[in-house]
Chain A
Amino acid sequence: MLEIRDAGITFAADKRVTLAVRNVDLDVPDRSVLALLGPSGCGKSTLLRAIAGLEALTTGRISWDGTDLAGISVHRRGFGLMFQDGVLFPHRDVAGNIAYGLRRTGLPNQEIHSRVGDLLELVGQPGYGSRRVATLSGGEAQRVALARALAPRPRLLLLDEPLAALDRSLRERLLADLGSVLRSTGTTAVFVTHDQGEAFAIADMVAVMTSGSIRQVGPAAEIWARPADAWVAGFVGYSSVLDAQAAAAVGSTVPLGSGALALRPAALRLDPGGPLTGRVTLVTPAPDGLVLTVRINGVGEVKAIAATDVPLAVDDLVRLRFDAAGAAVVPGRDDLVSGPLVG
């Protein structure tokens, strides 16, 4: 089990000190997958490199099964690391890349050979062993990189945005394969991504990170249902956060306490008999309907959804109904943002 306690990393360059990571506490139990989710530049990759041993902690400690990793150099940790783009060794063929980490294990050549074959099959590239690395496509290279990382049976696999460089359909296919490989091999993994869809699809636990610190840790469903603050709500797909007054104005009866109400577009539906009236300011087609931006008096601009077949134009007046299934309560300790969130 990986334990991170009060981890902090600072960079000093050109007389400027940057706090890349601060006060991070995380646990990754054996055979589970943790996603580190955050926008680019939030420090998630730095934290991952620190776990691998490629960056030194300024404060705190990272340990494995109670052993502090600080004194153990990269090559003795027995972790695997996968980069955004394969970083395969250009002077070795595919089999040579996968076998690289097996040399240390002292396996006989025969064994290495068959294991390389197994791994290629596992990642869906059987028979690729003798291919030159330069001839692989981006997706193939990532599959080989995954096989290479898994080959020495790492106690922990670290994945640094492994799908970010691929196009969308390939990314979805590879994401599904990656998930099944991690589950079938029982690999403990930390998966860094800026894409909430990826994080929620693959991880048992998600840690949402921004500006170097962790805002919330929990299973995907919990982060969806109870985002820790307005920022997290915005990052995982909530489009507006309303204070108590505005929440009442849209007809919410959800008890808020001192908190606020976060809305996804689905929280407001177009309904001719609905109690709310708003003016359309933007119509955006989406796969399963229209997403509207609507201005409601006393609330501001919010998102709403409508069926595709409704003829709508900007400046139309529409009637809406609140649906609590698309809303979540945000605890009220952070600064509240009313209206649509940016970014």
Chain B
Amino acid sequence: MTASTTTRRSEPPLVVDPPPLEPAAAGGLDRRLRRFAGVAGWVLIAGIPVTMFVLFFFYPVGSLLGRGLAPGGALDLSGLAEVAGKPRVQRIALFTVWQAAASAALSVALGLPGAYLLYRCRFRGRTAVRALVTVPFVLPSIVVALAFRTLFAADGPLGSWGWDGSVAAILAAHVFLNYAVVVRTVGASWAHLDSRPAEAASSLGAGPIRVLFTITLRSLLPAIAAAFVMVFLFCATSFGIMLIMGGSRYGTLETEIFRQTAQIGDLRAAAVLSILQLILVVAVLVVAAAVRRRGEATLRLRASVDLAHSLRWSDWPAVLVTSAVGVLLAAPLLVLVVRSLQTPTGWGLGNYRALTGTGESNVLVTPVTDALAYSLRAALLAAALSVLIGVLLSVVLARRPARRAARRAVSGLDAMVMLPLGVSAVTVGFGFLIALDSPPLDLRSSPLLIPIAQAMVTIPLVVRMVLPVLRAADDRLRQAAAVLGAGPIRVWWSVDLPIMSRALAGAAAFAFAVALGEFGATSFIARPETPTLPVVIGRLIARPGSVNAGMALAAAVILAVLCALSVFLVDFATGGRRGEPGVGGF
């Protein structure tokens, strides 16, 4: 580079008359045309996701609610009060709330020491531990349920605790699944938390405990609250865990919706329960938003400063708690793997070999390996679909338009995207079943039905992972690009896309893992001849037979490995371990 410059120095390279300014504003028509094209572009970008949501979310869910609330075509709300007044419904609603609150509180209590240890301390192998802690979160709920049932079963390693089918076991499974949510959400804030207020408090005479509670945790409150809310929502809508571990004694609104639709066939009760659940979720989100608005100002972060310190003796409580949690995280998985290698005839891979068959007394229509292949294809499609739609949505949602009408449209779209998080997957699945079975939308036999249903579950997750990165990006980068002559498309391509590429890759992998393990919606719409792996596991454990039980364990191990691998490979390939922005090909 330097060689070529020295030879070219003779001519003054920069004194050049700039090209003439295009008289863009010569006529008002051109300006109006360009503006119209701009608006049309935005409408088109937003229109694809909106159409998708209308067809595959609002229409099916609306049909289900409509059949429940307006059975004869006329709205009949008398059922609302009647169903909501039933003691069983009230008991289930109460249980849903308190078990979710307890699970969230436990997760936070156990997760805070972990967040401190993994994001504020430095020690050998920290990256590996961080990665391992995330594994449970990406595991399908049915795998986790099976692992915990095996652990606490009467003949299991912890059978003597008598936790089989107990609330304690359910809470343990929920903590297992959501521990990483707390560690990562709180840890990300803790890593950059300004330590100077805490130092100021110490110098004013506050002891370490007082500093922890009055300064550090107080400053982290927004992150803690966010983690609590997320875990609460995940547990309140928990389906796989409750269905398999709760048995007939414990149920959430979600499992009750499943019972009412799939087993009893009372659509009215199901519709009312769906509405109850939606109200619960929206109420929690509204409270959470209010808390966040109040708390955000208190969080003082210092970006791009490494504030971690080496382990100190005073860190022993955090080390102790986190090690104990590590055992809780490892035990069920170990038991699952060990039991999957146990066959009626001794140790071996018999259970895995049996996966090429259809199980004891042929409880399955197709071999499990076929289901595995089908699951992978469907999850891949679902991930691709949710990334595509998620990117389109993030393009629109990252904008902060100046005009009020446009701003309203953006926030309306934001709310629409998050709605599937609040509506039970079971409702979506059953809605698909009853709404998409007649022309013009007869998708019963379409291979796209399951991927689309799974994508409706994963799109909000993709948006939630990508959008914060885009919103946090310095807007002046886009302005700098525009001033240098880049039009809107090139600005997106050369600034937004590289900024979000790592988050997007992570979101794609996460969407794949979630779609692969999706159980609530898929269990309704999977046809017997094309089941997904979670559905197969569900069928195997619902039937008697030691061969079937062994096959379920083996299938669960495979499913767990696939989910964990997909997330890790992407994280690794995009340089997440080094904390760098993804490989810069742009």
Contact = CB atoms under 8 A, between A and B. Distances in A.
Interface of A: 52-54, 56, 64-65, 67-81, 83, 87, 89-92, 95, 100-101, 103-104, 113-122, 126-127, 129, 148-155, 158, 184-186
A29 to B, nearest CB: 15
Contacts of A129: 1
B78 interface: no
Contacts of A113: 1, 4
A73 B25 CA distance: 10
Contacts of B495: 89
Interface in B473-511: 474, 476-477, 479-488, 490-491, 494-495, 498-499
A90 B14 CA distance: 26
A65 B487 CA distance: 23
Given A54-B479, A80-B483, A89-B477, 13 more contacts: A53-B482, A67-B23, A69-B25, A71-B25, A87-B476, A91-B498, A91-B581, A104-B485, A118-B9, A127-B2, A149-B484, A155-B18, A185-B14
B431 to A, nearest CB: 41
B161 interface: no
A151 B4 CA distance: 17
B286 interface: no
Interface of B: 1-2, 4-5, 8-9, 12-16, 18-19, 21-25, 30-31, 34, 402, 474, 476-477, 479-488, 490-491, 494-495, 498-499, 581, 584, 586
B21 A155 contact: yes
A315 to B, nearest CB: 39
Contacts of B479: 52, 54, 74, 81, 87
A64 B22 CA distance: 11
Contact of B484 (A80, A121, A126, A127): A80
B476 A186 contact: no
A311 B98 CA distance: 80
Q: Which 5 A-B pairs have the closest CB atoms?
A: A71-B25, A101-B484, A117-B5, A155-B18, A74-B482
Given A87-B474, A89-B495, A113-B1, A65 B485 contact: no
B115 to A, nearest CB: 26
A90 B25 contact: no
Contacts of B30: 71
A95 B476 contact: no
B584 to A, nearest CB: 5
B482 A75 contact: yes
B368 to A, nearest CB: 44
Nearest to A100: B484
20 contacts: A53-B483, A72-B22, A73-B34, A75-B487, A77-B483, A79-B483, A89-B481, A89-B494, A91-B584, A91-B586, A101-B485, A113-B4, A115-B13, A117-B1, A118-B8, A119-B14, A120-B5, A121-B5, A126-B2, A152-B484
Given A117-B5, A186-B15, A152 B21 contact: no
A206 B232 CA distance: 60
Contacts of A92: 584, 586
B256 to A, nearest CB: 45
B10 to A, nearest CB: 11
B5 A100 contact: no
Nearest to B13: A118
Given A89-B477, A118-B13, A148-B484, A77 B5 contact: no
A65 B23 CA distance: 11
A129 B2 CA distance: 9
Contacts of B481: 75, 89, 100
B21 A78 contact: yes
A158 B476 CA distance: 14
Which of B19, B476, B495 has most A Cβ within 10 Å?
B476
Nearest to B580: A134
B5 A91 contact: no
Which of A90, A91, A155, A158 has most B Cβ within 10 Å?
A91
Which of B482, B484, B495 has most A Cβ within 10 Å?
B484
Contacts of B2: 117, 121, 126-127
Contact of B485 (A67, A78, A95, A150): A78
Contacts of B482: 53-54, 73-75
B5 A114 contact: yes
Nearest to B488: A75
A52 B482 CA distance: 10
Contacts of A154: 18
B500 to A, nearest CB: 11
B469 to A, nearest CB: 13
Contacts of A64: 21
A118 B5 contact: yes
B21 A72 contact: yes
Contacts of B21: 64-65, 67, 72, 77-78, 155
Contacts of B16: 153
A150 B12 CA distance: 14
A76 B22 contact: yes
A64 B20 CA distance: 10
Nearest to A56: B402
A201 to B, nearest CB: 21
Contacts of B480: 81, 83, 87, 89, 148
Contacts of B586: 91-92
Contacts of B22: 72, 76
Contacts of A116: 1
Which of B4, B12, B22, B485 has most A Cβ within 10 Å?
B485
A256 to B, nearest CB: 47
B231 to A, nearest CB: 33
A79 B586 CA distance: 24
Contacts of A87: 474, 476-477, 479-480
Contacts of A103: 485, 490
Contact of A127 (B1, B31, B485): B1
A94 B468 CA distance: 27
Nearest to B32: A71
Which of B4, B19, B483, B486 has most A Cβ within 10 Å?
B483
A71 B491 CA distance: 19
B485 A152 contact: yes
A72 B25 CA distance: 7
B483 A153 contact: no
Which of A70, A71, A150, A153 has most B Cβ within 10 Å?
A71
Contacts of B8: 114, 117-118
Contacts of B31: 71
